[in-house]
Structure 1
Amino acid sequence: MVTRPKELGCFLRRLRERTAPQGAPIGRRRRTPGLRREELATLCGISVTWYTWIEQGRAPQVSPDTLARLADVLAVTDAERRYLWEAAGLAPQRPAQKTPHVPAAITSVLEHIATPAYCLGRYWDALAWNREAESLFADWLGPQGQERNLLRFMFCVPAARDFVVDWPQRARRLVAEFSADAGNLAGEGQYEDMVADLGRQSAEFRAYWARREISFRDPAVKAFRHPTEGLVVYEQTTFVPLVERDFKLILLCARPGN
């Protein structure tokens, strides 16, 4: 089981290894890719021993000030910064795990939207969707769909590789987006089991997950090869309710001219 301190340390190591020493690119003469531990500690104004403990998952608690210094030196993105705070246990805690229940307001929204829309839960299980989404994602949300989890559909259902245009890039991006949500899920049994099972079933998921890339679900263009309609292109937008922070409402609006 991966604990939060270990997850934080592993992610920091990945960030450190991708960061070139200031004033010089990463060269072949350096045995360590990116910054060395002592270099990063010096730039952040903390002791090498303390940083080493953080990276090894041995630090019981990392202060917001220390984390902010690390984030600045490592030039993290907004998504990576949020993930660091969550992995360090500094973000607001999510409510205790409970049986997924889609708020009535979201159900009503789905019923009135005339474009593909669906709701994802804590572990990216599809909890609710409209008829348009079921028609578009027949192998995921249709009657024949067996994997209601978006990640499992993407990596474990062969039809997804033909259905999703530019599958390798989209799959890698999807893992980075899920990683941004998973910063404070470390230690939860369902989360750990799902990640482990996906790693066993898919070499691609295992490789993408090892990269520790973090990205928000920004508005993006999504293209699919529909079995009857051919190539369809949508603009995706994701909404997160203020109260139910574990839910995501995803809308796909057809691009003009498609």
Structure 2
Amino acid sequence: MNRAELAAFLRSRRERLRPAEVGLPAGVRRRTPGLRREEVAQLAYISTEYYTRLEQARGPHPSREVLSGLSRALRLTDAERDHLHHLAGVTPGPPPGPSREVRRSILDLLERLPQAAAFVTSASYEVIAWNTLATALMEDFSALPRRDRNLARRVFLDPHRAGRRLWGVSDTDHFARSVAHNLRATAARYPGDPETAELIRELLAGSAEFTRLWSAHEVAVTPALIKTFDHPLVGPVTVNCDALDIADRDQRVVIYTATPGSPSEEALRLLSVVGTQLLDVPG
């Protein structure tokens, strides 16, 4: 265990994180860059004293569970997670939870699709990247706290939806079934991930619909290839829906395109011009 290097690495990762990235308020008296030590400890489910000792290079040998908690709390990439384990003298194990790191090439791809609404979801249905047209068609994900970017929470627990279709999408019920069934497979792939477990507990406690679908024990649903958004500004927008799997990250790129020459193509073109500034798209 390299205590000095481990301490320096933890400090550097903590100081680079902004509170908003982990769902915390910035506050007006924040004197340290990034997160506070007590905030990292809370997110990692360890004591502040223990975390402080690690950053001061005088902590005990951290367990694999502690390292997994720190990896989640500090939003480490897969490479950084492995590095953290090596510094602690522990052989890296499988990823503790769904990856939220989106490759630069995928981010570039989203921006190179100006006529398509595209976004990326994690294995637990968190929207982790998107392009401008996606925000115009659905909503501005950057304005939402991280937990509200989770589509499972949105479709099953959003109190403002009150039976309405999410974003006015024609296949909301079909999407709900797909979410429930795919989350069961995700839970099996990441049995030690507390975020996935907590998400499923929330859904089971707050949604009778999710509980019914979860109890069916299905793990595959035929994807919807065409769907229609009832947009408040441009009206109905019918799009082709294609989902591309990113196997090494267990992520999915969702791309919505309209048939060339159709009214929906004109609607998407209008949205791409108007942008998000003039839109007030309900969730």
TM-score range, shorter chain: 0.5 to 0.7
- 2:258 aligned partner, one-letter code: A
How many residues are paired up? 164
Name the counterpart of 2:73.
none
After TM superposition, give the deviation of residue 187 of structure 1 in Å. Answer: 4.0
Name the counterpart of 2:217.
212
Q: Is the 8 A contact 2:120 2:251 kept in 1?
A: yes
1:247 corresponds to 2:247:
no
Name the counterpart of 1:108.
108
- Within 1, Cα distance between the matches of 2:130 and 2:259? 20
- 1:252 aligned partner, one-letter code: Y
Q: Which 4+ stretches in 1 moved above 6 angstroms?
A: none
- Within 1, Cα distance between the matches of 2:212 and 2:119? 28
**Where does structure 2 lack aligned partners over 5 or more consecutive residues?**
1-92, 265-283
Q: Deviations over 1:141-163 (max 9, x none)?
A: 26367710011111122338332
Q: Secondary structure at the match of 2:125?
A: coil
Name the counterpart of 2:136.
135
- Within 2, Cα distance between the matches of 1:197 and 1:172? 17
- 1:237 aligned partner, one-letter code: D
Q: Is the 8 A contact 1:117 1:130 kept in 2?
A: yes
In the TM superposition, what are the counterparts of 1:181-220 in structure 2 within 5 Å? 181-215=186-220, 218=223, 220=225
After TM superposition, give the deviation of residue 253 of structure 1 in Å. Answer: 1.2
TM-score (norm. length: structure 2): 0.51
- 1:235 aligned partner, one-letter code: N
Name the counterpart of 1:161.
164
**Where does structure 1 lack aligned partners over 5 or more consecutive residues?**
1-92
- Within 1, Cα distance between the matches of 2:144 and 2:194? 28
Distance 1:98 1:155, change over 3 A: closer
- Within 2, Cα distance between the matches of 1:95 and 1:161? 36
RMSD: 2.6
Q: Secondary structure at the match of 1:213?
A: coil
1:179 to 161, 175, 184: 184
- 1:234 aligned partner, one-letter code: V
Distance 1:161 1:254, change over 3 A: same
Q: Deviations over 1:203-250 (max 9, x none)?
A: 111111111122156462122211112111111111122432x21111
TM-score (norm. length: structure 1): 0.56
